[in-house]
Chains A and B, each alone.
Chain A
Amino acid sequence: MSERNYRLVAILMFVFLGLWALISLFPYYFQFITGFKGIEEVNRITPTFWPDEFMWSNLDLIFSDETNVAALLDTLLIASANTALAVFLGSLAGYALARFPRQAGGENMAFWILSNRMFPPVAILLPMFRAFDTVFGSTDNHISLIILYLVFNMPLATWLMMVFFRDAPRELEEAAYLDGYSPLRAFFKITLPQVVPGMMSVALLCWIFAWNEYLFANMLVGSNVAVNTIQTPGFVQGAQKLWNLAALFSLIAVIPPVVLFLVLRRYMVRGLSLGVVKG
Chain B
Amino acid sequence: MARLEIEGLCKGWDFPVIDRMDLTVEEGEFFVVVGPSGIGKTTLLRLIAGLEVPNEGRIVLGGKDITRLPPYKRPVAMTFESYALYPHLSVFENIASPLRARRLPRAEVQQRVMDVARLLKIDQLVARRPAEISGGQKQRTALGRTLVAEPEAFLLDEPISHLDAKIRHELRAQFHTLEALRRVSNIYVTHDYAEALSLGDRIGVAGPGGLVQIGTAHEVFERPETLFVAEHMGQPSINVLDCELTSENGVLFARHLESSLALPVAQPHVERLNGGNVGRVSYGIRPQYVSVMEDGENLRGEQHVVDGTVTLFEPLGTYAILIAEAGGATITALSSPEHRYEHGESVRLVVDTAQAFFFDRDSGKNLVL
A–B: direct contact at CB < 8 Å: yes
Give the B-binding residues of A (Cβ under 8 A).
169, 171-172, 174-183, 185-186, 190, 193-194, 274-277
Complex CA–CA separation, A190 to B101 (angstroms): 12
Q: How many residues of B contact A (CB 8 A)?
A: 26
Complex CA–CA separation, A176 to B87 (angstroms): 13
List, in ascending order, chain B residues with CB within 8 A of A183's CB. 72
**B292 interfacial contact with A, CB 8 Å:** no
Q: Given A179-B149, A180-B98, does the pair A174, B86 have CB atoms closer than 8 Å? A: no
Interchain CB contact under 8 A, B82 and A180? no
Interchain CB contact under 8 A, B72 and A182? yes
Interchain CB contact under 8 A, B80 and A171? yes
A275 to chain B, nearest CB (A): 8
Q: Given A179-B145, A276-B131, does the pair A172, B86 have CB atoms closer than 8 Å? A: yes
Interchain CB contact under 8 A, A277 and B71? no
Complex CA–CA separation, A274 to B130 (angstroms): 9
- In terms of DSSP, what is the predominant structure of the interface of chain A? helix
Query: Which partner residue on chain A sits nearest B148 by CB separation?
Result: A179
List, in ascending order, chain A residues with CB within 8 A of B70's CB. 177
**B333 interfacial contact with A, CB 8 Å:** no
Complex CA–CA separation, A169 to B86 (angstroms): 10
**B78 interfacial contact with A, CB 8 Å:** yes
Give the A-binding residues of B (Cβ under 8 A).
49-51, 70-72, 74, 76-78, 80, 82, 84, 86-88, 97-98, 100-102, 129-131, 145, 149
Q: Given A185-B101, A277-B130, does the pair A177, B84 have CB atoms closer than 8 Å? A: no
Interchain CB contact under 8 A, A177 and B88? no
Query: Which partner residue on chain A sits nearest B135 by CB separation?
Result: A279
Complex CA–CA separation, A175 to B50 (angstroms): 11
Complex CA–CA separation, A177 to B155 (angstroms): 14
Q: Given A172-B84, A172-B86, A193-B88, does the pair A179, B97 have CB atoms closer than 8 Å? A: yes
Interchain CB contact under 8 A, B87 and A175? no
Complex CA–CA separation, A176 to B88 (angstroms): 13
Q: List 11 A-B contacts (CB under 8 A).
A: A169-B82, A174-B80, A175-B80, A175-B84, A178-B51, A179-B72, A179-B101, A181-B72, A182-B72, A274-B87, A277-B87
Complex CA–CA separation, A174 to B72 (angstroms): 9
